């Protein structure tokens, strides 16, 4: 008797779990406005990229063409595959002392794995990840970028 | 009872009369056979492609995706493009494969599909083959298909194909039993195996409502076993992609693969059409006994539309199963059949017999 109850209990229990599963997919089916698919080229204008998305490394400049990079080279050291090259130069400050600064912050986008280690290593927050993801180019050499703009200099008050 | 105004019998009759007026009986018969054959070929090709498209769309909707959207409006031409691609691909035969059987297998599968589809009534007067053992014919013919599957697996000279074919064989042979027994329960109820007779018997109410509990049980068993018979998910372990690459049709390419693919989807249609005909009234509109006004309103919708609405309902149900449930293991599949479906089915036949004998149905 016990086994018969167990047998029919299994059948009805099985049906119950199957219907539970089918209700879940039915909810997906009948709410098509919640679809997750993005129609990419069509929705370029309204595209929303998450804040934490790692598109590429950029160096933000303010309106006076100033950045926060001190040329310390920590990003270059932290990069696991040599994506970043720092070419330093020395400038003479107002107090007459020589100071280290960057001549060129070279970033090889083609070698970057977007691991975010350089951004975490940067003591002054000079480099950040942008949300731009359209990296297609016709020529491979254009993937090598100089992040500091020509003629830019370090922002006032940024300490090493 | 008002007769259905969307009857196809006058059309077929006028074609027959106009042909036989000017031609000999043999020529008339030959031309009529050709017409019927071409119509079925067109139907199978177009409907198969449409089902593939529908499957992809339905699957996408169940997974919160959009499915094909690029080829044509809403991706409507996607499967046509896929089919053209398949037609242009090279036909590859594996080394040391059994050439003859390897080439024969896809044809067996597709021919069986055509044979089974021939007895299905689409609308009043729109059936090519109506004889007194129609239901028996469908069940017996559809089990020949497993020979094609086994031949394909055996002759491919590939271990995955062979394992897939063996699994498919074990599965189809066991589930054939459930399909047959659930149909037998309904035959007891209908009192005839002739498909036109079964449809006619549902003039006042569909069998699934008329036969209440045993008919509903038979319907559930039929849909489960039918899903297994078509080798669709969650019973698709014959072509379990993660284990067997593609099962018995791993080595097939081009048009031969297209045959297997098309046969799979048309088998889905056949199972849905059989469920429609036997349980949901075929092309018969929804009638409730003596409610003349309601019945005549329902008669305004053509039988063809009723038939395809019901077929799409059953097909949707089976796609819903496929994209909800995970695949069963081999032992689970055989357990489900021999320990659950078969005893339930046998009890259901006794119950149905009692219902018929005591007149407990509507």
- Per DSSP, the residues of B278-344 read HHS-TT-----TT-HHHHHHHHTS-HHHHHHHHHHHHHHHHHHHHTTSPPPPHHHHHHIIIIIIHHH
A54 to chain B, closest Cα gap in Å: 24
DSSP B86-115: HHHS-----TT--HHHHHHHHHHHHHHHHH
Question: Rounded to an integer, what distance in angstroms lies between the CA atom of residue B141 and that of residue A5?
Answer: 38
Query: Which of B66, B323, B324 minimises the CB distance to A37?
Result: B66
Nearest residue of B to residue A34 by CA position? B64
SS3 A85: strand
Q: What is the CA radius of gyration of chain B?
A: 21
Q: Which residues of B touch A (CB under 8 A)?
A: 58, 60-66, 69, 320-321, 323-325, 340, 344
Which positions ≥6 away from B218 have C-beta within 8 Å? Answer: B182, B183, B185, B186, B211, B279, B345, B348, B352
Question: A35, B58: Cβ pair inside 8 Å?
Answer: no
DSSP classification of residue B73 = G
User: Residue B271's closest CA among B173, B182, B157, B188?
Assistant: B182
| Chain A residue numbers touching B335 (CB-CB < 8 A) | none
User: Between chains, do B61 and A18 touch, taking CB under 8 Å as contact?
Assistant: no
Inter-chain residue contact B324 with A11, CB threshold 8 Å:
no
ipTM attached to this prediction: 0.71
- Distance in Å, alpha carbon of A130 to nearest chain B alpha carbon: 28
Q: Which residue has the tokens 């167990």?
A: A6
Each as own residue / partner, the long-range contacts of residues A42-46 (CB below 8 Å, 24 or more positions apart, any chain) are none
Read off the pTM: 0.81
Question: Which chain B residue's Cα is nearest to A11?
Answer: B340
Put simply, the answer to whether A22 touches B65 (Cβ < 8 Å) is no
Please indicate whether, in this complex, the C-beta atoms of A34 and B64 are within 8 angstroms of each other: yes
Q: Which of B171, B175, B191 is nearest to B139 (CA)?
A: B175
Indicate the residue of B65, B323, B340 with minimum beta-carbon distance to A36: B65
pLDDT in tens, chain B (362 residues): 344 556 777 777 788 788 878 888 888 888 888 888 898 889 888 888 899 899 998 888 888 888 888 888 888 888 889 888 888 888 888 888 788 888 888 888 888 888 888 888 887 777 777 788 888 888 888 888 888 888 888 888 888 888 888 888 888 888 888 888 888 888 888 888 888 888 888 877 888 878 788 888 889 889 888 888 888 878 887 776 677 777 777 888 888 888 888 888 888 899 998 899 888 887 877 777 777 777 777 777 777 888 888 899 999 988 898 888 888 888 888 888 888 888 889 999 998 888 888 877 77
Q: Do B325 and A18 touch (CB under 8 A)?
A: yes
Distance from CA of B270 to the nearest CA of A (A): 23
CA distance linking residue B194 with residue A72, whole number of Å = 89
């Amino acid at each position: 008797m016990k086994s018969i109850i167990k047998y029919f209990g299994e059948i009805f229990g099985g049906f119950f779990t199957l219907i539970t599963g089918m209700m879940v997919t039915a909810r997906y089916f009948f709410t098509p406005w919640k679809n997750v698919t993005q129609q990419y080229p069509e929705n370029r204008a309204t595209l929303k990229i998450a804040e934490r998305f790692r598109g590429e490394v950029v160096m933000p400049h303010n309106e006076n063409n100033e950045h926060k990079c001190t040329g310390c080279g920590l990003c270059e050291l932290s990069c696991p595959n040599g994506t970043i090259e720092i070419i330093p130069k020395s400038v003479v400050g107002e107090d007459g002392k020589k100071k280290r600064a960057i001549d060129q912050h070279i970033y090889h986008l083609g070698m970057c794995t977007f691991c975010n280690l350089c951004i975490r290593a940067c003591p002054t927050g000079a480099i950040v990840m942008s949300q731009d993801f359209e990296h297609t180019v016709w020529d491979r050499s254009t993937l090598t970028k100089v992040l500091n703009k020509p003629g830019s200099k370090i922002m006032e008050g940024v300490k090493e | 009872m008002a007769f259905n105004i969307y009857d196809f019998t006058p059309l077929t009759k006028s074609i027959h009369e106009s042909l036989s007026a000017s031609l000999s009986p043999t020529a008339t018969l030959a031309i009529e056979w050709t017409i019927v054959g071409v119509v079925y070929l067109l139907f199978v090709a177009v409907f198969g492609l449409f089902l593939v498209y529908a499957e992809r769309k339905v699957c996408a909707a169940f997974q919160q995706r959009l499915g094909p959207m690029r080829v044509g409006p809403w991706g409507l031409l996607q499967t046509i493009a896929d089919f053209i691609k398949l037609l242009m691909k090279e036909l590859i035969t594996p080394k040391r494969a059994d050439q003859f059987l390897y080439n024969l297998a896809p044809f067996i599968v597709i021919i069986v599909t055509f044979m089974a589809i021939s007895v299905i009534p689409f609308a009043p007067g729109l059936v090519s083959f109506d004889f007194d053992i129609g239901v028996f014919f469908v069940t017996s013919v559809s089990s020949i298909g497993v020979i094609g599957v086994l031949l394909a697996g055996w002759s491919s000279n590939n271990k995955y194909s062979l394992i897939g074919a063996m699994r498919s064989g074990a599965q189809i042979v066991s589930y054939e039993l459930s399909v047959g027994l659930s149909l037998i329960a309904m035959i007891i109820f209908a009192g005839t195996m002739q498909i036109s007779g079964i449809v006619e018997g549902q003039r006042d109410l569909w069998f699934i409502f008329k036969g209440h509990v045993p008919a509903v049980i038979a319907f559930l068993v039929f849909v489960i076993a039918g899903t297994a018979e078509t080798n669709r998910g969650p019973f698709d372990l014959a072509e379990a992609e993660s284990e067997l690459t593609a099962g018995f049709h791993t080595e097939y390419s081009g048009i031969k693969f297209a045959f297997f693919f098309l046969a799979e989807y048309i088998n889905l249609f056949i199972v849905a059409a059989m469920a429609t005909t036997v349980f949901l009234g075929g092309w018969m509109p929804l009638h409730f006994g003596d409610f003349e006004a309601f019945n005549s309103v329902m008669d305004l919708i053509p039988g063809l539309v009723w038939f395809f609405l019901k077929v799409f309902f059953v097909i949707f149900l089976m796609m819903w199963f496929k994209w909800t449930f995970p695949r069963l293991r081999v032992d689970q599949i055989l357990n489900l059949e021999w320990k659950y479906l078969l005893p339930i089915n046998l009890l259901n036949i006794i119950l149905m017999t009692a219902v018929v004998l005591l007149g407990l149905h509507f």
